[in-house]
Amino acid sequence: MATSLEKIIGPRTPEENLAEDRFRFRLPIIFFLIAALLLIASIFLPYWKMTLQAPQYPKGLSITAYINKLTGDVGEIDGLNHYIGMRPLAEAAQLERSLSIAAVSVLSLLLVAAIFIHSKYAVLLALPAILYPFIFLGDMYFWLRNFGLNLDPTAPLSNAIKPFVPPILGVGKLAQFVTIAQVQSGYYLALMASISILIGLYFQRRAYKPLIDSPAGSEDQPIAITDLD
Amino acid sequence: MNLRTMKKYLLPFVLMAVVGFLLVTACSGIGGDTETPESAAAPGDINAIAAERGLTPADIEAAVKTYTPTGQHDEYIMFASGGHSGQMLVIGMPSMRLLKLIGVFTPEPWQGWGYGAESSMEVLEQGKINGEEVLWGDTHHPALSETGGEYDGEWVFINDKANARIAVIDLRDFETKQIVKNPIAINDHGGTMVTPDTEWIIEGGQYAAPLGWEYASLADYEEEYRGMVTFWKFDRESGRIQTDQSFAIELPPYWQDLCDAGKLVSEGWVFCNSFNTEMATGGVEDGEPPFEAGASQRDMDYMHIFNLDKAIEVFKAGQTEMVADFPVISLQTAIDEELLYFAPEPKSPHGVDVSPGGDYMVVSGKLDPHVTIYSFEKIQSAIAAGGFETDDYGIPILDFDDVVESQVEVGLGPLHTQFGPDGYAYTSLFLEPAVARWTMGGPYADLNDDEPWSLVTKTFIHYNVGHLAAAEGDTVSPDGKYLVSLNKWAIDRFQNVGPLVPQNLQLLDISQPGTTMPLIDDMPLGIGEPHYAQIIKADKLDPWEVYPEIGWNPATQSLDPNATLAGEERIERDGNNVEIWMTAVRSHFNPEHVEINQGDHVIWHLTNVERAYDATHGFSLPGYNINISIEPGETATFEFDATQDGVFTYYCSEFCSALHLEMVGYMLVQP
């Protein structure tokens, strides 16, 4: 009889089947590991970029968001933003940026942990990583909104520029500036990680569900894993 | 965002544009009064436009060759002397647009050159003459730094003929970094020219005077008066002339004129021409022949041939005499050590120009219709052969026929020669006035189809050409393509603007061989008299867009100890000394209030913390003659004694932003 712990971690990989059907049980591991590696790699890559175009800036201005920093023409954009009373960009998402690398590392570790959980509960461990790209954009939107809507009413142009929310993706327009916001390579890696996790969960479920439904050692229901293919 | 809020966002920027719109409409309004819409040609109908404007097909061709639409950059950049404006001009070619005027010997308000900023005041200070401020110059000959005889786009030098001074300009920021006063001479002319790797900057003299600026009667001219050539050591690392490693050679009181450094086969040698070998001393008021006649009596003057390599050895060996604390190789030492030879050159020459291969020296005797071409090889043979006559000072004179390769009759008043890549040489003809194209012989003969050592064609110019500048035309590899005729007179070329008439720089297309050499553009210049110019391929220049770091000191080209970042602004008082660390950013100074007491000594550091290209701020403090330009990243420092009490408004004098007018502060000086 399965203990509650066994219920949570699910059945172990049956040694007797491993040799003949190694791939079936390895497949989820591969996808989870790929996802974890993609997440770790994304730490070093840009997630989001906004380009501002205006006649006075023939080369354009841009800010690039990594999970832990902002790069690009931050000073110049801050300089422009002060006219409309927007706070310096460095003040945005300070907590998120300070925790981000640790957080993504934890997400990756949870994925590694999910490799060993062969029950439905694996989804719980993987869920934060699956949702992570959407949480990122959600948080980004929160800050864009927070900054755009909380303009200093004493700023030089505050009577003319009313609070606004710059589009988080796609093209926007503010005065003489056209803004183009796009997600970047790091974000795509995170998205691919989500997909990889979903595939991994599917294969894990496919590998272990028969074991859950017909626990090994049950005499009346011998395993016939190969039949499932 | 919905349309209504978007409209609101746009409103301030519409307001910002109002100033611009007002200007544009004002200007077009003025233009609109003079032309009727009906007279306008159909858009796109080039022939109709040309007919209406009276343009010939040649005019249209010239326009197409030179017209440079907005945003398109020029292929070449010309560095022209500003003449007696004491400045340097930077001109784009072929558009012939003035891009910049670099303050050199003369204060220049736009750049804040000489109005308080220490980085400029210290340089102008170096130009003092016997303690006397001399705030103008007669800039004559710019010289771009060279590597292996090619312009390298790093430095440009220029002389001040009036006061025998040399300036060093850094082409990273196009600012003057050093002025050196020649301690032994009151005037110069044969500078600046550089040796092929810019180790030495040549400064030849002009009007003879006792060396070291002593007194001597004109009656003792031959004994007491002297000419000179100075070799300034340039150190690229520090970007400065090393005055303590420089030296001069004493010369007879002939008036040395232009010089040129040997290159390739003639590297290590230097050539200067001279006039007034008659040693006329003028005195028209006493019935003596005036200089113009007295100095033009003899048929021949002397080309000076210097063995520079040997002169450096002699200097390093300490065989010099100190004149005004400056080492000078005496005339006798120069003769004894075989540093100096003369070759006769036709009457009152102006140019001596070394050919691209260093093998020929071209001299234009301005009172002789020929260019005379000397062979370096023949000069060397003649020196080796020995057995010379000497002049009155004992300087060996090579035989004219032994050293001359050829003479080409080019026309009246030949002055200065430049070279093309295709075996052609170009000589200005002051009197005709025209630019002559002629062919070089020897190794250059096969580069074109015209007969060697012969005149090919002339293009008449307007009017009275002095120097010429061809694209990289005095380097080891001339580019051809364009040539600029630096004309002294413009007469009727432009609208009358009163009796003082602009100079006229004319652009010639020299890209086609043979007799085709059309004039394609005019550039009037109402800024001094551009004397000589050098033309460099624009892509060899790589200046900064903004200073490398916030807090940059252009004088030292390094971070200034008083660099002030945003948040570090402060005012500190120590007794009667007040020190201010201020920042400038669009659109405010910080601090905006400076409260001091009459009698305070004020040291004011100002940092432009901008990183955007072109985000320059000005700083003008009326009443104290302070006017500064701070480019993005620059830190400037100025000092003054608060002698006047009252309320002073300092403001940004370079239109920086929509809120530029609000970029202001109050300095309150309590009595």
CATH number of the domain to which B628 belongs: 2.60.40.420
The CA distance from B435 to B320, in Å, is 43
The per-residue pLDDT for range B589-619, each reduced to its tens digit, is 999 999 999 999 999 999 999 999 999 999 9
Residue B441 has pLDDT above 50, yes or no: yes
CA atoms within 13 A on the CB side of B429: 24
> Is A160's CB within 8 Å of B610's CB?
no
DSSP B623-660: TTTEEEEE-TTBEEEEEEE--S-EEEEEE--S--STTG
The answer as to whether A66 is a domain residue is: yes
Structural domain for B258, as ranges: 76-104+139-540
Among all residues of chain A, which has the CA nearest to that of B11? A160
Report the run of H or E that residue B292 belongs to, with start and end: helix B291-294
Q: Count of domains in chain A?
A: 1
The answer as to whether B309 is a domain residue is: yes
pLDDT in the model for residue B43: 60
Paired tokens of A212: 């859950």
Among all residues of chain A, which has the CA nearest to that of B586? A79
> Is B611's CB within 8 Å of A76's CB?
yes
The answer as to whether A210 is a domain residue is: no
Confidence of residue A213 (pLDDT cuts 50, 70, 90): confident
With CA atoms as reference, report the closest residue to B201 among B167, B177, B151.
Answer: B167
The CA distance from B560 to B607, in Å, is 10
pLDDT in the model for residue B178: 98
> Is A157's CB within 8 Å of B610's CB?
no
Residue B453 has pLDDT above 60, yes or no: yes
pLDDT in the model for residue A175: 85
Taking 3-state DSSP, the helix, strand and coil percentages for chain A, each rounded to the nearest 5, stand at 55, 15, 30
Final residue before a domain boundary, out of B496, B516, B540: B540
Confidence of residue A18 (pLDDT cuts 50, 70, 90): low
Confidence of residue B284 (pLDDT cuts 50, 70, 90): very high
State whether residue B11 sits within 8 Å of chain A by CB.
Answer: yes
Q: Which of A176-185, B32-41, B391-400, B529-538 has the lowest mean pLDDT?
A: B32-41
Q: Are B367 and B254 in a shared domain?
A: yes
> Is A156's CB within 8 Å of B611's CB?
no
Among all residues of chain B, which has the CA nearest to that of A148? B1
SS3 state at B602:
strand
The CA radius of gyration of chain B, in Å to the nearest whole number, is 28
> Is A174's CB within 8 Å of B9's CB?
yes
The answer as to whether B222 is a domain residue is: yes
Tokens 């500064």 appear where? B628
Please list every residue in chain B whose beta carbon sits closer than 8 Å to the beta carbon of residue A161: 8-9, 12
Structural domain for A60, as ranges: 27-111+131-203
pLDDT in the model for residue A186: 97
The per-residue pLDDT for range B518-529, each reduced to its tens digit, is 999 999 999 999
pLDDT in the model for residue A214: 77
Residue B351 CA to its chain's centroid (Å): 17
Tokens 């291969």 appear where? B357
The CA distance from A31 to A112, in Å, is 10
Q: Are B507 and B574 in a shared domain?
A: no
The CA distance from B525 to B90, in Å, is 12
Tokens 């312009």 appear where? B151
Please list every residue in chain B whose beta carbon sits closer than 8 Å to the beta carbon of residue A174: 9
> Is B610's CB within 8 Å of A156's CB?
no
Best mutation target, B6, B15, B608, B660, to test chain A (most A CBs within 10 A): B6
The answer as to whether B37 is a domain residue is: no
The CA distance from A149 to A144, in Å, is 8
Provide mean pLDDT across the span B640-666: 95
Which of B5, B11, B659 is opposite residue A156, by nearest beta carbon?
Answer: B659
Residue A44 has pLDDT above 70, yes or no: yes
Provide mean pLDDT across the span A33-55: 96
Contact between B435 and B427 under an 8 Å Cβ cutoff? The reply is yes
> Is A165's CB within 8 Å of B1's CB?
yes
Q: Are B184 and B207 in a shared domain?
A: yes
Enter the DSSP assignment of A221.
S
pLDDT in the model for residue A207: 86
> Is B9's CB within 8 Å of A156's CB?
no
Distances, alpha carbon A127 to alpha carbons A133, B91, B102, B604, in Å: 11, 65, 65, 60
> Is B612's CB within 8 Å of A162's CB?
no
Please list every residue in chain B whose beta carbon sits closer than 8 Å to the beta carbon of residue A176: 13
Q: Count of domains in chain B?
A: 2
If interface means Cβ-Cβ distance under 8 Å, which residues of chain A face chain B? 57, 73, 75-76, 79, 83, 156-157, 159-162, 164-165, 172-176
Final residue before a domain boundary, out of B506, B540, B574: B540
The CA distance from B496 to B200, in Å, is 44
Provide mean pLDDT across the span B274-289: 94
B 246-265 residues with CB below 8 A of A?
none
Cβ neighbours for A15, distance < 8 A, ≥ 6 positions apart: none
Please list every residue in chain A whose beta carbon sits closer than 8 Å to the beta carbon of residue B612: 57, 76, 79
Best mutation target, A174, A177, A178, A179, to test chain B (most B CBs within 10 A): A174
Residue type, B73: H
pLDDT in the model for residue B5: 42
pLDDT in the model for residue B20: 32
> Is B12's CB within 8 Å of A160's CB?
yes
Share of chain B above pLDDT 70, in %: 93
The per-residue pLDDT for range B69-87, each reduced to its tens digit, is 999 999 999 999 999 999 9
> Is A165's CB within 8 Å of B10's CB?
no
Q: Are B411 and B491 in a shared domain?
A: yes
Strands of the sheet containing A57-65, edge to edge, are A70-72, A57-65, A48-54, A177-183, A170-174
DSSP B504-553: EEEEEE--S-TT---EEEEEEE-SS----EEEEEGGG----SS-SSTTEE
Please list every residue in chain B whose beta carbon sits closer than 8 Å to the beta carbon of residue A83: 658-659
State whether residue B8 sits within 8 Å of chain A by CB.
Answer: yes
With CA atoms as reference, report the closest residue to B258 among B368, B348, B169.
Answer: B348
The CA distance from A57 to A55, in Å, is 5
The answer as to whether A96 is a domain residue is: yes
> Is A160's CB within 8 Å of B611's CB?
no
The answer as to whether B40 is a domain residue is: no
Distances, alpha carbon B126 to alpha carbons A202, B51, B130, in Å: 81, 56, 11
The answer as to whether B22 is a domain residue is: no
- Average pLDDT over chain B reads 93
The answer as to whether A65 is a domain residue is: yes
The CA distance from B502 to B483, in Å, is 20
Q: Are B589 and B483 in a shared domain?
A: no
CA–CA min distance B190, chain A (Å): 44
The answer as to whether A126 is a domain residue is: no
Contact between A148 and A161 under an 8 Å Cβ cutoff? The reply is no
pLDDT in the model for residue A216: 56
The answer as to whether A21 is a domain residue is: no
Residue B433 CA to its chain's centroid (Å): 24
Provide mean pLDDT across the span B88-104: 98
Q: Are B526 and B571 in a shared domain?
A: no
SS3 state at B399:
coil
Provide mean pLDDT across the span B104-132: 96
CA–CA min distance B15, chain A (Å): 10
The per-residue pLDDT for range B225-265, each reduced to its tens digit, is 999 999 999 999 999 999 999 999 999 999 999 999 999 99
State whether residue B72 sits within 8 Å of chain A by CB.
Answer: no
The CA distance from B621 to B651, in Å, is 7
State whether residue B12 sits within 8 Å of chain A by CB.
Answer: yes
State whether residue B1 sits within 8 Å of chain A by CB.
Answer: yes
Q: Are B297 and B432 in a shared domain?
A: yes
The answer as to whether B2 is a domain residue is: no
Q: Are B556 and B519 in a shared domain?
A: no
CA–CA min distance B14, chain A (Å): 8
Please list every residue in chain A whose beta carbon sits closer than 8 Å to the beta carbon of residue B1: 164-165, 172
pLDDT in the model for residue A210: 83
Burial of A154 (C-beta count, 10 Å sphere; 0-12/13-18/19+):
exposed
Enter the DSSP assignment of B340.
E
Residue B50 has pLDDT above 90, yes or no: yes
Among all residues of chain A, which has the CA nearest to that of B5? A162
State whether residue B659 sits within 8 Å of chain A by CB.
Answer: yes
Q: Are B477 and B506 in a shared domain?
A: yes
Cβ neighbours for B194, distance < 8 A, ≥ 6 positions apart: B143, B144, B145, B146, B157, B200, B201, B202, B234, B261
Provide the CATH number for the domain around residue B316: 2.130.10.10
pLDDT in the model for residue A215: 66
The answer as to whether B404 is a domain residue is: yes
The answer as to whether A218 is a domain residue is: no
The answer as to whether A225 is a domain residue is: no
The per-residue pLDDT for range B535-559, each reduced to its tens digit, is 999 999 999 999 999 999 999 999 9
With CA atoms as reference, report the closest residue to B522 among B465, B455, B473.
Answer: B465
Q: Are B290 and B251 in a shared domain?
A: yes
Q: Are B395 and B511 in a shared domain?
A: yes
> Is A160's CB within 8 Å of B587's CB?
no
SS3 state at B68:
coil
CA–CA min distance A143, chain B (Å): 17
pLDDT in the model for residue A118: 87
Please list every residue in chain B whose beta carbon sits closer than 8 Å to the beta carbon of residue A165: 1
CA–CA min distance B557, chain A (Å): 23
Q: Which of B25-34, B52-61, B433-442 has the lowest mean pLDDT?
A: B25-34
The answer as to whether B61 is a domain residue is: no
Final residue before a domain boundary, out of B488, B516, B540: B540
CA–CA min distance B11, chain A (Å): 6
Among all residues of chain A, which has the CA nearest to that of B632? A76
CA–CA min distance B12, chain A (Å): 6
Tokens 């736009």 appear where? B110
Task: Provide the sign of the torsion angle of the four alpha carbons B9, B15, B20, B23, taken in this order.
Answer: positive
Enter the DSSP assignment of B273.
E
The CA distance from B370 to B21, in Å, is 58
The CA distance from B428 to A113, in Å, is 86
Q: Please count the residue pairs, one from chain A and one from chain B, whose beta carbons lie less than 8 angstroms apart.
A: 40
pLDDT in the model for residue B19: 30
Q: Are B208 and B277 in a shared domain?
A: yes
The per-residue pLDDT for range B386-429, each reduced to its tens digit, is 999 999 999 999 999 999 999 999 999 999 999 999 999 999 99
